[in-house]
Chain A
């Protein structure tokens, strides 16, 4: 029985790291801006579609014009997708922040409604550009297919994606804790008015943080696309777990988000294996159980972005 459990635990851990990656951009924006960005899923989707355009000849770019580019091997195109997808998502996120400015200082519901509206608009824009058909992001052969471990076959890409997610989590932690830029962002999350009083341009800081959070959503979109597929509504599949993870981990807590992501991954993987019809519900039950006893979430006591 225990031996049977091990592959599911490893699978849950891999899934959890991906969930954590998904939630980090969301966490950053809530932490600094105090805005629940319901368009996070749409930014995730934009990352995935841009990666598709960069990777696949039928991905939306004019083939005749791009033909020499598509002759490049898959690895450089994939590396370009990993950069361009988040950049475009980040740019769209910055545009969204410009629209959000008028809601600062007002009822938080305005920001919520605006980002919800933006999510609908972005989804329709995606539908206009790419249609409602399903796409899959092709990935280099080196990270696709499966490998054999004992009696089981497991997806190579999932291992790659989990390692990538762990790496991104580490890089983000280093950025927030070991660089002056990270220090300003964290300070902005603690007390934005004090940051402004110290001479930092708070308006620009918010713009950059929103763009950075959106870019993280875009990266998650590129990484998750080969697993979840690409369609206009895929963002809904992303934003709900991200929201659950942030509340579960404690709003604004870096390690809270990471540990909540891993917990959600493990719970979802184990229920999917052994109580399959409960698998979609399990993350909400976990949330319910945690917030019943700890309303601030797992690490909510720490101040925002405390590492």
Chain B
């Protein structure tokens, strides 16, 4: 019978040592307390912050289909780092307060590794503030206020959609030459609308436009008749609208009712696919920007559409649009980077994302895209489109007029971005 070496003294010594080490980990500076044991085989949890109610409910669910499709494809291929990927979704209700609450809960109670999803810029900004506080990487997939990768940028936040300034630059010069210099500006009176309008105005004035009037429209406006009468009385050549979500849908319908969709010319900063799907090619009035279209004549597009249709056979939007696309490519890139880095450590992943070049063929766009290292904004191809006069089927609403390479439409807003240093960004790894 061997003599035990495990004495009361050694037990106390070991316990004290272990307690000190554990305490140092758990009760040290807060920014380090969310580092858990790495290289585990537990699932990688991704917090999906997509709207299911409020002004952008429809778009929120469209981007959710994109992010979940990417996750499903990775899981079917064996996951990432040999680990399954779990998605946790909560409705952010197109509401910044809810965005804050959801982000807090996702990080502190659901222990997600990453946060992905946004349509409304106010909500995206709120989520990113919480994410930065903890160091959790956040992908803003579809909110396009120039401030998101400008003055509201964060080290943990990456912005995947083209912003209002990109779209304005793509459209403005062409519109002035084609339609005229007398411009009437209308915009939703919240962060995206205000900043997009500012960018549009700046670009238009640079190209020689005269702004005859500028009208902020409260979010939730259902009756546009008074504004439309005012536009008629001002008789502009161009109306540049930065109006989104349900407000845009109502506005478009009332513009068509009043037969104002021909003259003046309408420059609609961006038209998201879910906002017009089901309404026919006529709904795509005016000239507008987009990042992707399901009839782009590029390799991989038709296969992507087919995979989407197989995965979502009963969804009403039976072809993916720009919102779903942005969600898909953002999630796909995140998971690829996790695989490449071999870890879920936030700083390692941030460094791998900064300056990352994504090949045009891989992204199903015309030009290579790059994640700007200074603003974390994905600089990508912007397409200018209008309603399709000769649709090839009942989903072919857009006629793509041109594609702009990222450098020609780069936003100035990125210059206002001051990212937190790595040292000021808490280390975050849920293990």
| Residues of A participating in the B interface, judged by any CB pair closer than 8 Å | 4, 7-8, 11-12, 15, 58, 131-136, 144-146, 151-158, 226-229, 231, 233, 237, 268-270, 272-274, 276-277, 279-281
Contacts and interface: CB of A to CB of B under 8 A. Distances in A.
Contacts of A268: 223, 226
Interface of B: 52-54, 57-58, 61, 189, 215-218, 220-223, 225-227, 229-230, 232-233, 246, 249-250, 253-254, 257-260, 274-275, 277-279, 316-317
B275 A134 contact: yes
Contacts of B278: 58, 133-135
Contact of A276 (B227, B275, B317): B227
A146 B259 CA distance: 6
Lowest 5 A-B CB distances belong to which pairs? A272-B226, A146-B259, A273-B226, A155-B257, A280-B218
B226 A277 contact: no
Given A11-B229, A146-B257, A155-B254, A276 B217 contact: yes
Contacts of B218: 276-277, 279-281
A134 B257 CA distance: 17
A161 B260 CA distance: 20
Contacts of B54: 233
Nearest to B235: A151
> Which one of A133, A158, A226 has the greatest number of beta carbons of chain B within 10 Å?
A133
Contacts, number: 111
Nearest to A156: B257
A222 to B, nearest CB: 16
Contact of A134 (B52, B58, B227, B260): B58
26 contacts: A7-B229, A7-B233, A11-B229, A15-B225, A132-B52, A132-B58, A133-B274, A134-B58, A134-B249, A144-B257, A145-B257, A152-B229, A153-B258, A158-B257, A227-B223, A228-B222, A229-B246, A229-B249, A237-B220, A237-B222, A268-B223, A272-B227, A273-B227, A277-B218, A280-B218, A280-B220
Nearest to A236: B220
Contacts of B229: 7-8, 11, 152, 154, 273
Contacts of A133: 58, 274, 277-278, 316-317
A284 to B, nearest CB: 12
A131 to B, nearest CB: 6
Given A152-B229, A231-B246, A146 B258 contact: yes
B62 to A, nearest CB: 10
Given A135-B278, A273-B226, 18 more contacts: A8-B229, A11-B225, A15-B225, A132-B53, A136-B253, A145-B259, A146-B260, A153-B258, A153-B259, A154-B229, A158-B257, A268-B226, A270-B226, A272-B226, A276-B215, A276-B227, A277-B217, A279-B221
A226 B220 CA distance: 17
Nearest to A132: B57
A126 B294 CA distance: 30
A23 B216 CA distance: 28
A48 B257 CA distance: 18
A114 to B, nearest CB: 22
A23 to B, nearest CB: 15
A146 B225 CA distance: 12
Contact of A277 (B52, B53, B189, B260): B189
Nearest to A134: B249
Nearest to B60: A132
A7 B225 CA distance: 10
Nearest to A3: B233
A132 B226 contact: no
Contacts of A4: 233
A153 B221 CA distance: 21
A164 to B, nearest CB: 16
Nearest to A237: B222
A154 B249 CA distance: 19
Contacts of B317: 133
Nearest to A234: B222
A156 B256 CA distance: 11
Contacts of A226: 253, 257
Contacts of B253: 136, 226-227, 229
Nearest to B232: A152
Contacts of B226: 8, 11-12, 268-270, 272-273, 276, 279
B250 A229 contact: yes
Contacts of A270: 226
A131 B232 contact: no
A277 B257 contact: no
Contacts of B279: 134, 136
Contacts of B249: 134, 229
Contacts of B215: 276
Contacts of B259: 145-146, 153
B232 A233 contact: no
A152 B275 CA distance: 28
A300 B83 CA distance: 68
Contacts of B217: 276-277
